[in-house]
């Protein structure tokens, strides 16, 4: 079955070519609350990267990977469930719960007195962030049509890029032993403002039915399978090659169990579940499937760049945490304008394939240039290499969900976007774990014995904890350690080059489909609420015609 949509066969009355409608103050307040919430969740995910060495040292910890992984784990595992809950209980209650969890996790994180307490706080934060990631996209899809969304995707792309850009600087600026706690505390009042905006202005319909009836519509079994499977996979990635050998039972058992569980989740969702959170219809056409794969691969690349480029600058160029954040501006502040321009180009041309193809080619070229970095490479050259990769990532990131949604009726947008966001955050979890494993294993093999002999811990704890010690080392040991870091990170760039090539390959089968211009009647606000006069009834859905090939 092909997902080709023959627009010539659809009467013009079913695909109205209307200009974007004006938006009122309520719309812009809602959009502001979404942008602020999304900014916070992204900022918290990225700022921790540059702050990790100081936080680990302050709390006398060793298992540094669990700090970012706990956040990504819970945000990922709960994402499909958040989409289902939003469909059953409504958008506003789930968004408010998500903001509350994020703020509560931030408060606990700031008060943490041990690594275990901080890891638990990050898990609570991540649970809230997962809901924010999913609901921000879902609510936007309720308020604007896919044809209008090119402009607003630029706004969301700018939010992702701006948060990712300032995150390393903010993380680096708050990493003194006493100040790093403000990295968490500052989230609380800002999240409270977002909470109030959502509470007072997000007036979308709430589904009818009793609480018991709604609970029966939730896919609890599928949600339990994916949560347990995600936990098992992250546990294996965190331990593999660092705490335990990859071939040990303590790594292989959770890894195999987790991967089999993910397969079982999809089999159950697609074949047996009466109320699936991932229905077969949203993955059964090649254009949507291509979009899902592309966002997974792009997110994997982007997170590795954001996490491990600062490590390169701190280890090889003796950059401070703040300085390492500034040093990756070549990446983060090319993603921002590229996202805006790309969103505008989709809105004007109604095309998304050329942007995606160009994005993958530039991403591969940029990561290939990063592979040439050595311990003594001039910083200016490395920033230029980042810019090439940043343009490529920006093109893909802001365009990726158009092939996902274009073949689908708007009634399926919420579940499709929840699954889209799930794959994006799942890739982030895998990126942090796999990238960290590559770095750690590389250091274990390359660090001079005269240096590693001073540490009782293994490569896992050394990867971050030894960075503050490098400037204090005598020569030639200092240069040898820097070379070990540079060569270990270059192995990661090789992996990302291959992932970029795979992204280009999976983008080829997608079709160029028209962008529909209807909204889901079940979730449509009154036109007066969006700044229009009068109340207009729901518009008909555009019929999507699929032909066998």
pLDDT tens digit sequence for 116-169: 888 888 889 988 988 888 888 888 888 887 877 777 777 777 777 677 667 767
Strand partners, 5: 546
Residue 148 burial (10 A CB sphere; 0-12, 13-18, 19+): buried
By the 8 A CB rule, do 314 and 324 touch? yes
Tell me, yes or no, whether 13 lies in a domain: no
CATH of the domain at 81: 1.20.1250.20
Same domain, 113 and 260: no
Is residue 413 scored above 90 in pLDDT?
A: no
The answer to whether residue 475 sits within a structural domain is yes
pLDDT digits (tens, 9 = 90+) for 253-274: 998 999 999 899 989 988 888 8
Which residue is listed with tokens 């942007």? 355
Cβ pair 286, 510 in contact under 8 A: yes
Banded pLDDT at 101 (limits 50, 70, 90): very high
Among 253, 274, 295, the domain-final residue is: 274
Question: Could you say which of 241, 258, 274 is where a domain stops?
Answer: 274
pLDDT in tens, 522-544: 666 654 444 443 333 333 333 34
The mean pLDDT value of the chain amounts to 79
Q: Is 192 in the same domain as 49?
A: yes
Alpha helices in 210-248 (DSSP H): 211-216, 220-239
Has residue 194 got a pLDDT over 70?
yes
Structure tokens at 62: 């060793």
Residue 350 lies in a domain: yes
Where b means 16+ CB within 10 Å and e means fewer, 57-88 reads bbbebbbbbbbbbbbbbbbbbbbbbbbbbbbb
Same domain, 257 and 367: no
Instruction: Give the residue, 316 or 243, on which the prediction is more confident.
Output: 316
Domain span at residue 262 reads: 219-274
Tokens of 257: 């169990």
Alpha-carbon span 42 to 336, nearest angstrom: 14
For residues 269 and 325, membership in a common domain is answered with: no
The verdict on 241 and 325 lying in the same domain is no
Is residue 462 very low, low, confident or very high in pLDDT (cuts 50, 70, 90)? low
pLDDT reported for residue 534: 36
Q: Are residues 365 and 292 in the same domain?
A: yes
- Say which residues have a Cβ less than 8 Å from residue 186's Cβ, sequence separation at least 6: none
Give the whole-angstrom CA distance, residue 436 versus residue 242: 10
Greatest mean pLDDT among 196-210, 211-225, 363-377 lies in 363-377
Q: Do residue 501 and residue 457 come from a single domain?
A: yes
Q: Give the pLDDT score at 172.
A: 67
513 in the same domain as 439: yes
pTM: 0.78
Cβ–Cβ < 8 Å for 291, 401: yes
Do residues 191 and 333 share a domain?
yes
Tell me, yes or no, whether 383 lies in a domain: yes
Report the chain's terminal Cα–Cα distance, integer Å: 6
Please spell the DSSP secondary structure of 393-456, one letter per residue: HHHHHTTTHHHHHTTS-GGGHHHHHHHHHHHHHHHHHHHHHHHHHHHHHHHHHHS-HHHHTT-S
In a domain, residue 17? The reply is: no
Q: For position 97, what pLDDT does the model report?
A: 92
Number of domains in the chain: 2
Q: How many residues does the chain have?
A: 549
Within-domain flag for 107:
yes
Candidates 97, 102, 75, 91; CA nearest to 136 is 91
357 and 255, same structural domain? Answer: no
pLDDT recorded at residue 370? 94
At 115 the pLDDT is 84
d(CA 427, CA 423): 6
Percent of the chain that is helix, strand, coil (3-state, to 5): 75, 0, 25
How far apart are alpha carbons 534 and 527 in whole angstroms? 7
Confidence of residue 102 (pLDDT cuts 50, 70, 90): very high
* 149: in domain: yes
Cα 529 to its chain centre, rounded Å, is: 31
Residue 244, beta-bridge partner list: 240
Contact predicate 254/246, CB 8 Å = no
Specify if 370 maps to a domain: yes
| 263 plus 383 within the same structural domain | no
- Residues 194 and 340 both lie in one domain: yes
pLDDT at 338 over 80: yes
């Amino acid at each position: 079955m092909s997902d080709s949509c023959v627009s010539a066969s659809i009467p013009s009355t079913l695909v109205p070519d209307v200009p974007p409608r004006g938006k009122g103050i309520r719309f812009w307040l809602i959009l502001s609350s979404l942008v602020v919430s999304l900014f916070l969740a992204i900022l918290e995910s990225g700022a921790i990267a540059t702050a990790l060495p100081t936080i680990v040292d302050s709390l006398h910890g060793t298992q540094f990977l669990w700090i970012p992984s706990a956040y990504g784990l819970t945000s990922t595992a709960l994402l499909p469930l958040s989409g289902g809950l939003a469909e059953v209980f409504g958008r506003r209650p789930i968004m408010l719960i998500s903001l509350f969890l994020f703020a509560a996790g931030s408060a606990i994180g700031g008060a943490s007195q041990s690594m275990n307490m901080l890891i638990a706080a990050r898990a609570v934060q991540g649970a809230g962030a997962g809901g924010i990631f999913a609901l921000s996209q879902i609510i936007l899809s309720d308020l604007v049509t896919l044809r209008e969304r090119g402009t607003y995707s630029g706004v969301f792309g700018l939010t992702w890029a701006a948060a990712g850009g300032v995150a390393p600087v903010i993380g680096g600026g708050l990493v003194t032993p006493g100040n790093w706690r403000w990295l968490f505390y500052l989230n609380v009042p800002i999240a409270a403002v977002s909470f109030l905006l959502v509470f007072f202005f997000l007036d979308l319909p709430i589904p009818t039915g009793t609480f018991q009836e709604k609970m029966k519509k939730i896919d609890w079994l599928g949600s339990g399978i994916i949560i347990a499977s995600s936990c098992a996979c992250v546990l294996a990635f965190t331990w593999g090659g660092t705490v335990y050998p990859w071939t040990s039972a303590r790594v292989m058992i959770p890894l195999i169990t987790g991967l089999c569980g993910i397969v079982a989740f999809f089999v159950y969702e697609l074949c047996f579940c009466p109320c699936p959170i991932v229905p077969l219809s949203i993955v059964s056409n090649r254009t949507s499937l291509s979009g899902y794969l592309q966002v997974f691969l792009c997110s994997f690349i982007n997170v590795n760049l954001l996490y491990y480029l600062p490590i390169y600058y701190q280890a090889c160029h003796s950059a401070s945490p703040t300085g390492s954040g500034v040093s990756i501006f070549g990446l983060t502040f090319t993603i921002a304008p590229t996202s805006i321009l790309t969103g505008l180009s989709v809105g004007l041309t109604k095309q998304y394939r050329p942007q995606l193809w160009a994005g993958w080619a530039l991403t591969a070229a940029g990561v290939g240039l990063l592979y040439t970095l050595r311990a003594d490479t001039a910083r200016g050259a490395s920033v230029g290499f980042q810019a090439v990769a940043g343009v490529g990532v920006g093109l893909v990131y802001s365009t990726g969900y158009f092939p996902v949604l274009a073949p689908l009726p708007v009634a399926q947008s919420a579940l499709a976007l929840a699954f889209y966001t799930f794959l994006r955050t799942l890739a982030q979890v895998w990126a942090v774990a796999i990238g960290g494993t590559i770095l750690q294993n590389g250091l274990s093999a390359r660090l001079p014995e005269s240096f590693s002999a001073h540490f009782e811990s293994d490569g896992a704890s050394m990867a971050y904890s030894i960075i503050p010690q490098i400037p204090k080392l005598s020569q030639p040991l200092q240069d040898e350690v820097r070379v070990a870091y540079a060569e270990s990170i270059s192995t990661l760039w090789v992996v990302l080059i291959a992932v970029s090539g795979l992204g280009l390959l999976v983008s080829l089968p997608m079709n160029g489909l028209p962008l529909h211009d209807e909204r889901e009647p079940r979730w449509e606000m009154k036109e007066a609420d969006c700044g229009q006069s009068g109340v207009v009834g729901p518009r008909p859905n555009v019929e999507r015609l699929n032909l066998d090939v």
